[in-house]
Amino acid sequence: MDPITMGIIVAIALIVLMAIGTPIAFALGGVSLIALIYDRGLPELTYFGETFFDRIAEFGFVAIPMFILMGAAVASSPTGRDLYRSLDLWMGRLPGGLAVSNIGACTIFSALSGSSPATCAAIGKMGIPEMRNRGYPDGVAAGCIAAGGTLGILIPPSVTMIIYGISTETSIGRLFIAGVIPGLMLSGLFMIWTMVACHLAGGHYNPLARTAEKMAQNIKANVDSNVKAMMRVLPFLAVVGCILFALYGGVATPSEAAGVGAFLCLALAILIYRMWQVGPIKLIMRDSLRESVMIMIIIATAEVFAYALSSMFITQTVAAAIADLEVNRWVLMGVINLFLLVAGFFLPPVAVIVMTAPILLPIILAADFDPYWFAVILTINLEIGLITPPVGLNLFIIKGIAPDISLRDILMGSLPYVMCMVLGIILLCFFPGIALWLPNLVMG
């Protein structure tokens, strides 16, 4: 059987398994195992086990559970609540100010947690009920949180950037800093669309529309309480700043910085919010362990899947077909973006990066594209997959937070933000310096 036909069969089998609800790691591992036995026979089982364990035995992956623990310590504490209240005070004066505040909270919380699901859940639990109470349309309330949550995989520290760096042997510190300005750019685009959406919905949804007398009575109390809330958040932001400084300055490796950051965030959560009981700490450890194991198993099975495709010469054939396209390099980039977009519809970011980054990187370099710029482009494509069916993880998180909002309303509210991300990719293609200027300035 020729590699392309075999690749189509493998892809269909993987899609069918995921469609019937098979966990992604088991779907990847099962398809890989069957394909290897079919192509190479039972002796190939030895290499299956070796590939599975060798991949996750890399020391660099120690940073992943540490950053996840750091994010869980923040997500399981009232940090998100304090951040949300503070931004509502300062940004609430804008048209659609509460929704804009939610996106601002998602932006900052992304830097604290490094996780899209954690950002979406932490801010959404507070933001969606409050927006609906103030009369915001369900689509706007759900869509802004779903989109804002995607920033968790782009704004540093990002777990997916760590995986990309290990998979392609590129500098994780440089990858982190390359995501800063694009992340802020996307956040700004989200805010602009949110204000437009609120205007189109027929209302400004401005808290200042309340009577001047009521505002005068409450403003001092609001300012005092929200300033105190922001003061509780600042130590966590300082930890993130120190981690990024250590990485960019070459003071510590990603694993060392992640370990120190996890300890400090856990200690701050306990001290600032008085989380002395065993229950909250146990919850943080449980969530960290669960997400870490899930990601590591996906990485391991994705590596086995990539090995199976390589053994059957599927990846080499596809890569050669893409490389042999006698087209302009921007047309080539368009084809790659389309491929990543489709892959993101069906697979989580971790699996897509592990399987595709090592294959695409030589093609990207041959076409004279910067690998750090491409990492940002790839990540934004995967962000789109987080708010589009059939996987659309953030859509289902929002559905869990607000079960009475229909999935159709959540999806329709999220789709305009997909266009914001596409616009972001176009801007990065025309102006690569958006991603490259800061890394070049800081790291040379």
DSSP 402-423: -TTS-HHHHHHHHHHHHHHHHH
Which range in 119-123, 192-196, 314-318, 432-436 is most confidently predicted, on average pLDDT?
Answer: 432-436
Which range in 249-253, 391-395, 415-419 is most confidently predicted, on average pLDDT?
Answer: 415-419
pLDDT in tens, 287-314: 888 878 887 888 888 778 877 877 787 7
Confidence check: pLDDT of 438 > 80: yes
> Is 314:359 a contact under the CB 8 Å cutoff?
no
pLDDT in tens, 154-179: 988 888 888 899 888 888 888 988 99
Lowest mean pLDDT across 58-62, 273-277, 366-370? 58-62
Average pLDDT over residues 411-435: 93
- 92 to each of 85, 87, 95, 101, 266, how far by Cα in Å? 10, 8, 8, 7, 31
Confidence (pTM): 0.80
Q: What pLDDT sits at residue 377? A: 95
Confidence check: pLDDT of 421 > 70: yes
CA atoms within 13 A on the CB side of 352: 26
Q: What pLDDT sits at residue 374? A: 95
CA atoms within 13 A on the CB side of 73: 28
Confidence check: pLDDT of 91 > 80: no
pLDDT greater at residue 217 or residue 286:
286
Q: Which residues contact 244 (CB under 8 A, 6 or more apart)?
A: 156, 157, 176, 177
What residue spans define the domains of the chain?
A: 3-443
Which range in 124-133, 137-146, 350-359, 382-391 is most confidently predicted, on average pLDDT?
Answer: 137-146
CB atoms within 10 A of CB 251: 11
Residue 106 and residue 84: Cα distance in Å, rounded? 9
Confidence check: pLDDT of 389 > 50: yes
Residue 423 banded pLDDT, cuts 50, 70, 90: very high
Structure tokens at 34: 């069957």
Residue 434 banded pLDDT, cuts 50, 70, 90: very high
Average pLDDT over residues 362-381: 92
Cα Dmax for the chain: 80
Average pLDDT over residues 348-360: 83
Residue 212 banded pLDDT, cuts 50, 70, 90: very low
Lowest mean pLDDT across 61-75, 78-92, 130-144? 78-92
Confidence check: pLDDT of 284 > 70: yes
CB atoms within 10 A of CB 5: 10
> Is 183:155 a contact under the CB 8 Å cutoff?
yes
Exposed/middle/buried for residue 204 (C-beta within 10 Å: 0-12, 13-18, 19+): middle
Confidence check: pLDDT of 402 > 80: yes
Confidence check: pLDDT of 77 > 80: no
Phi-psi region of 202 (alpha: psi -120 to 50; beta: other; left: phi over 0): left
Average pLDDT over residues 432-438: 93
Residue 43 and residue 276: Cα distance in Å, rounded? 53
Q: What pLDDT sits at residue 242? A: 85
Residue 400 and residue 150: Cα distance in Å, rounded? 17
Average pLDDT over residues 370-383: 94
Average pLDDT over residues 367-394: 89
Q: What pLDDT sits at residue 89? A: 67
Average pLDDT over residues 115-128: 79
Residue 312 DSSP SS3: coil
How large a percentage of the chain has pLDDT more than 70? Answer: 89
Confidence check: pLDDT of 366 > 70: yes
Residue 356 and residue 352: Cα distance in Å, rounded? 6
> Is 402:128 a contact under the CB 8 Å cutoff?
yes
Q: What pLDDT sits at residue 43? A: 74
Mean pLDDT computed over every residue of the chain:
81
Average pLDDT over residues 393-409: 84
CA 284 vs. chain centroid, Å, equals 20
Average pLDDT over residues 341-363: 83
Residue 32 banded pLDDT, cuts 50, 70, 90: confident
Average pLDDT over residues 143-152: 89
Q: What pLDDT sits at residue 436? A: 93
Q: What pLDDT sits at residue 372? A: 95
Helix (H) or strand (E) holding 139: helix 138-150
Q: What pLDDT sits at residue 299? A: 80
Confidence check: pLDDT of 23 > 60: yes
